[in-house]
Amino acid sequence: MKLITEYTNSDVEFITEAKEGGGKNHVIEGVFAQANAKNRNGRIYPQQVMEKAVGKYVREQVSKDRAVGELNHPEGPTVNLDKVSHRITELKIEGRNVMGKALILDTPNGQIVKGLLEGGVKLGVSTRGMGSLEQRNGAMYVKDDFILNTVDIVQDPSAPAAFVNGIMEGVDWVWNNGIIEAQVIEKMETEIKKAPRSDLYEVQTREFKNFLSLMK
Which band of pLDDT confidence, cut at 50, 70 and 90, is reported for residue 150?
Answer: very high
Query: Among the residues of the chain, which ranges form H helices?
Result: 47-60, 108-118, 158-168, 182-194, 200-215
What residue type is 182 in one-letter code? A
What residue type is 95 in one-letter code? G
In terms of Cα–Cα distance, which of 96, 90, 118 is closest to 51? 96
Best mean pLDDT range from 33-42, 64-73, 187-196: 64-73
Tell me, what's the pLDDT at 173? 44
pLDDT, average across residues 62-79? 90
Which band of pLDDT confidence, cut at 50, 70 and 90, is reported for residue 186?
Answer: low
Which band of pLDDT confidence, cut at 50, 70 and 90, is reported for residue 35?
Answer: very high
The active-site residue, picked from 26, 73, 85, 86, is 73
In terms of Cα–Cα distance, which of 149, 37, 29, 46 is closest to 91? 29
The active-site residue, picked from 26, 85, 86, 126, is 126
Residues 76-92 have pLDDT tens digits of 788 999 999 999 999 99
Please name the residues in contact with 156: beta carbons below 8 A apart, sequence gap of 6 or more: 7, 122, 123, 124
Query: Is 86 annotated in the active site?
Result: no
Tell me, what's the pLDDT at 184? 63
How far is 103 from 85, CA to CA, in rounded Å?
9
Give the CA angle between residues 166, 169, 171 to the nearest 5°.
55
